[in-house]
Structure 1
Amino acid sequence: MKKKFRISVLGLELIFGAVVFGAFMCVLNSYNGYREFKNELEVIYGTVTEQFAQTAATYVNSQKIDYWIENGADDEWYETNERLIDITEASELVYVYVTKVAPDYMSRTYVFDTVNHQEKNSKVIELGYVQSLEKKDDYYRGKLRDVLEYSDNYSMFSYKKGGGHVTSAVPLLDTTGKPCAIVSVVKPMHEIKEYKRRFLKSIIIWALILTTLFIALYALFLYLGIIRPILLVTYETSHLAEHHGELTGGLKKVRGHNEISTLAKSVEKMSDDLNRFIIDLTHATAEKERLGAELNVAKKIQAEMLPRVFPPYENHSEVELFASMEPAKEVGGDFYDFYMIDDDHFALVVGDVSGKGVPAALFMVITKTLLKDTAAHEFDPAKIFEHVNTILCESNESGLFVTCWMGILTISTGELKFANAGHNAPIIVQNGEIKYLKTKPNLMLAGMEGIPYTTHSIKVSKGDRLFIYTDGVTEATDAQNELYGEERLLKVMQTIDDKSPREVIGIVRDDINAFVKDAPQFDDITMLEMLYKGL
């Protein structure tokens, strides 16, 4: 198969990055080289100029500084001035001047001042001339202070278009060794301009040569070692995506032991794995569709096993009832049931099997059937639980168990006998009071063989309600993992007034939805409410 050769965007980006990096390094190295060159020149010029200043200081009689300022020039002054002029001309200096600085460093008095004859625009400052230093900055006055107080030499550089100059100052010491005046020398740096030009030209040329060579070698390395293998991997991965996991074999050309060769081998392995996965996925999808169809049937069967006709008995208007069960998965482990045992006894059951899914649903069917069959000849909820518990414990290898609440209402008298096998306490609405019907619960069914259960009894009157539910209600969680809780459920039940059981369950479900919002349902939610209307 003929391959298309395309421009590598990654290659262009890498080469462009190398060019930018090389240019940056060229500029940086040139700048650093120039800076070092400039520092070396300043050291050389500063040292030489300070030596000139020290030489000039040996020509001046420090003992007569104050005399010359007060009385003017004499023969010795003229002789010293001539010698300073000679050193100015011979050493190609611009100025040599000797000054006495005021104690407050705000002015200075000139003692000597020489000007090189080539400086046409400068005039000699006369002996005794007082120059103000008020316009000088603190740095400049500080340098003068360092010379006079600490005998420190200093050099200051000034750069301009023609090249610039350096000014060096040294102390003039009296007979006691203390500074009494300052000898300053100014030397031009005309030749520094040519030095800079030649140096910059040389360093830039060499930097460009080395940078170009580096970029060329780097680009060659990039193409052979990175860009070309990446192009092969890119082409093969595109071919793999377009041809259902098939490769052309071009990855065999990628050699070496670096990350790109590892990537090439990984793509080859991915192709093999992808082909196997497609085959497995095809079988798994077919199996999933089959299981999904079976689960839908199981869901329908489970729903049909729970009573769905409301009101349940047209000839027994003494009891109004409604119930609902919403599994967390396709099928669930929660269940409810109600049935007439005889003409005067009405049974209510709500249970919750541990776990979810198909195992819990099967265990629920067994438990529900056993409870109903046992209640056909037994009116005591505790004895019903004991009998069912014994049967469930006999072959419970899966370790499942059931929490269950069961009540048997004598319609004629309003007596309600009930037992609780580890289940949530239901809510009873009686005489205007809404509370949990709490008793000490017994162990859940199928938990342990031989467990005794207790039957409790209460009297219900006309208008009393009983709301039974599973823990999927109170343990419903929102996005912050906060529980719906028993307290919130009780507050909702306090708002039902004279609502029908169907409306009550709808109100509770709406409140649960408002609480959890978009959080997923983790447990089955089952609710049953009975309203006793009496005879």
Structure 2
Amino acid sequence: MDRSEGFGERLLGVLLDRAHEMPPQLIAPLIAEEVTGIGGREVSILLQDYAQELLVPLPGRRLIVGEPEPIGDSPAGTAFLRAATVEVPGAGGVRMYLPLLDGSDEVGVMALTLDAIDDDDRRLLRRLAGLVADMLVTKHAYTDRFFQARRREPMSVAAEMQWSLLPPLTMSVPQVAVAGILEPAYSAAGDSFDYALNDDILHVAVFDAMGHNLEAATMASVAVGTYRHTRRAGVDLSEKYAFMDQAIAEQFGPDHFVTAQLMQLDVTTGRLRWVNAGHPPPLLIRNRQVVRPLPSPPALPVGFGGERPQVTEQMLLRGDQVLCYTDGVIEERDAQGEPFGEERLIDCVNRIAATEEHGVRAQVRRLSHALKEERGGRTSDDATLFLIEWRGGAADHLAVLA
């Protein structure tokens, strides 16, 4: 067996060999040098801003730092939303936009120019972009530079706490995909969400702590921390509720509470189980239309000392989606002082679902921005959306080397 190092392995191997001790500020010049090695130039690293409206350039030596590019209307945005390479021919060569994928979550886009391109270049650049994404995710824990680049306006302390709690905004595997969005991005306080895929069970939780200040963010932090603790301990949904209820009551007293939606989805069978503690009921979307809300026996918000709630079940069909949302989405008032309401939410969901073809990330982003426009740009309360899409099937083939 020939184990000699080929061109592609040498190129990617330099990044791997040096990445372990590489200071964050040297990632950019190393990437630019690697791209030069395959005849590329004019390298930009574009990161998604917190409001999910723009792709903003990461400053760095040997990187091209231009104007932010709109996610909804630019080649870079198309590459980002579709998670696919976009090529734009021009007089000076071919401008390449490659999605930076950390697993299935998208960090941003890498842009570069080549005089010409063939399939070998495409394969190598796709793998290079994947390695660059992994390096950015790893190194962001050691520096504030990536966080700072993504900010387009000042962020509140409460929002800073909430963003530090969130998991990746998107996850996609063959059996299931999820995506979430949090508004207002720079001043959120009490809303949060969390998820984990443990073997064949997807665990999901959406939270809304009372209030709009630092205390709300602190309550949400306790709720998320307690949820993760109980999830990792393997307890049942009703027990998760009981643990969270006790934690909030002990830390904040009887006048404070957190509403919560706790879910478990078996990704092999489509069996969905959930507990609703004060949230609006989630919406079941089938064939790109809202079929109905998913009601469940009401339970008190955690912190009020309620009895252990009843767990509700629903069997999903392949392709079904479940949309969870917090009350800030439907209770915001329009210019006439009327609440936005569930009916208008359903109308927006149907309109977006019928036209969106680029996956759950793009669908949730478009829905959140459309809802904000329908409300006249107002978001006086946190407004969170979390979408689950069950696809069924298996993923074992991914562990088999072709």
Q: TM-score, normalised by structure 2?
A: 0.55
Q: Which amino acid letter does the alignment assign opposite residue 160 of structure 2?
A: K
Q: Which has the higher helix share?
A: 1
- Whether the aligned pair in 2 keeps the contact of 1:434 and 1:490 (CA below 8 Å) is no
Q: Mapping of 1:112-131 within 5 angstroms?
A: none
- In 2, the alpha carbon distance for the partners of 1:450 and 1:320 equals 32
- In 2, the alpha carbon distance for the partners of 1:400 and 1:350 equals 17
- How far has the Cα of 1:329 moved from its partner? 7.0
Alignment partner, residue 227 of structure 2? 371
Alignment partner, residue 176 of structure 2? 319
Change in 2 beyond 3 A, CA 1:414/1:488: same
Alignment partner, residue 435 of structure 1? 292
Alignment partner, residue 505 of structure 1? 364
Give the SS at the match of 1:365.
helix
Alignment partner, residue 389 of structure 1? 245
- How far has the Cα of 1:366 moved from its partner? 0.4
Alignment partner, residue 121 of structure 2? none
Q: Mapping of 1:84-123 within 5 angstroms?
A: none
Q: Which of 145, 160, 163 is the aligned partner of 1:300?
A: 160
1:63-110 CA distances to partner (integer Å, 9 max, x unpaired)? xxxxxxxxxxxxxxxxxxxxxxxxxxxxxxxxxxxxxxxxxxxxxxxx
Q: Which of 349, 352, 367 is the aligned partner of 2:208?
A: 352
- In 2, the alpha carbon distance for the partners of 1:294 and 1:323 equals 22
Alignment partner, residue 76 of structure 2? none
Q: Which amino acid letter does the alignment assign opposite residue 162 of structure 2?
A: Q
- How far has the Cα of 1:433 moved from its partner? 5.6
Alignment partner, residue 458 of structure 1? 314
Identity %: 26
* 1:486 and 2:319 correspond: no
Give the SS at the match of 2:233.
coil
* 1:422 and 2:278 correspond: yes
Give the SS at the match of 1:466.
strand
- How far has the Cα of 1:384 moved from its partner? 1.1
Q: TM-score, normalised by structure 1?
A: 0.42
Q: Which of 325, 335, 340 is the aligned partner of 2:192?
A: 335
Give the SS at the match of 1:322.
strand
- In 1, the alpha carbon distance for the partners of 2:371 and 2:326 equals 13
Give the SS at the match of 2:253.
coil
- How far has the Cα of 1:394 moved from its partner? 2.2
- How far has the Cα of 1:378 moved from its partner? 3.0
Q: Mapping of 1:280-291 within 5 angstroms?
A: none
- Whether the aligned pair in 2 keeps the contact of 1:423 and 1:441 (CA below 8 Å) is no
1:405-452 CA distances to partner (integer Å, 9 max, x unpaired)? 1111111221111000111101011366621111222111001x2522
Alignment partner, residue 147 of structure 1? none
Q: Which amino acid letter does the alignment assign opposite residue 326 of structure 1?
A: E
Alignment partner, residue 379 of structure 2? 521
- In 2, the alpha carbon distance for the partners of 1:294 and 1:400 equals 28
Q: Which amino acid letter does the alignment assign opposite residue 503 of structure 1?
A: A
Q: Mapping of 1:206-217 within 5 angstroms?
A: none
- In 1, the alpha carbon distance for the partners of 2:331 and 2:320 equals 26
- How far has the Cα of 1:461 moved from its partner? 2.1
- Whether the aligned pair in 2 keeps the contact of 1:476 and 1:516 (CA below 8 Å) is yes
1:120-158 CA distances to partner (integer Å, 9 max, x unpaired)? xxxxxxxxxxxxxxxxxxxxxxxxxxxxxxxxxxxxxxx
- Whether the aligned pair in 2 keeps the contact of 1:327 and 1:525 (CA below 8 Å) is yes
Q: Which amino acid letter does the alignment assign opposite residue 367 of structure 2?
A: V
- Whether the aligned pair in 1 keeps the contact of 2:323 and 2:388 (CA below 8 Å) is yes
- Whether the aligned pair in 1 keeps the contact of 2:283 and 2:324 (CA below 8 Å) is yes
- In 2, the alpha carbon distance for the partners of 1:506 and 1:330 equals 18
- Whether the aligned pair in 2 keeps the contact of 1:434 and 1:494 (CA below 8 Å) is no
- Whether the aligned pair in 2 keeps the contact of 1:327 and 1:333 (CA below 8 Å) is no
- How far has the Cα of 1:327 moved from its partner? 3.6
Give the SS at the match of 1:529.
strand
5+ residue gaps, structure 2, are: 1-152, 394-402
- Whether the aligned pair in 2 keeps the contact of 1:427 and 1:434 (CA below 8 Å) is yes
1:42-81 CA distances to partner (integer Å, 9 max, x unpaired)? xxxxxxxxxxxxxxxxxxxxxxxxxxxxxxxxxxxxxxxx
Q: Which has the higher strand share?
A: 2
Give the SS at the match of 1:462.
coil
- How far has the Cα of 1:398 moved from its partner? 7.2
Alignment partner, residue 400 of structure 1? 256
Q: Which amino acid letter does the alignment assign opposite residue 525 of structure 1?
A: A
Higher relative contact order (CA 8 A, sep 6+): 2
- In 1, the alpha carbon distance for the partners of 2:296 and 2:335 equals 33
- Whether the aligned pair in 1 keeps the contact of 2:265 and 2:272 (CA below 8 Å) is yes
Alignment partner, residue 121 of structure 1? none
- Whether the aligned pair in 1 keeps the contact of 2:162 and 2:192 (CA below 8 Å) is no
Q: Mapping of 1:168-207 within 5 angstroms?
A: none
- Whether the aligned pair in 2 keeps the contact of 1:334 and 1:353 (CA below 8 Å) is yes
Q: Look at both structures and tell me which one has the larger radius of gyration over its CA atoms.
A: 1
Q: Which amino acid letter does the alignment assign opposite residue 374 of structure 2?
A: F
- How far has the Cα of 1:309 moved from its partner? 4.6
Change in 2 beyond 3 A, CA 1:504/1:394: same
- How far has the Cα of 1:456 moved from its partner? 0.8
- In 2, the alpha carbon distance for the partners of 1:295 and 1:505 equals 22
- Whether the aligned pair in 1 keeps the contact of 2:283 and 2:290 (CA below 8 Å) is no
5+ residue gaps, structure 1, are: 1-292
Q: Mapping of 1:138-149 within 5 angstroms?
A: none
* 1:362 and 2:218 correspond: yes
Alignment partner, residue 530 of structure 1? 388
- How far has the Cα of 1:484 moved from its partner? 1.2
Q: Which amino acid letter does the alignment assign opposite residue 527 of structure 1?
A: L
Count residues in correspondence. Answer: 237
- In 2, the alpha carbon distance for the partners of 1:422 and 1:301 equals 23
- How far has the Cα of 1:512 moved from its partner? 2.0
- How far has the Cα of 1:299 moved from its partner? 3.0
Give the SS at the match of 1:332.
coil
RMSD: 2.4
- How far has the Cα of 1:390 moved from its partner? 2.0
Give the SS at the match of 2:192.
strand
- Whether the aligned pair in 2 keeps the contact of 1:331 and 1:358 (CA below 8 Å) is no
* 1:476 and 2:332 correspond: yes
- Whether the aligned pair in 2 keeps the contact of 1:419 and 1:454 (CA below 8 Å) is yes
1:245-289 CA distances to partner (integer Å, 9 max, x unpaired)? xxxxxxxxxxxxxxxxxxxxxxxxxxxxxxxxxxxxxxxxxxxxx
- In 1, the alpha carbon distance for the partners of 2:290 and 2:368 equals 22
Give the SS at the match of 1:376.
helix
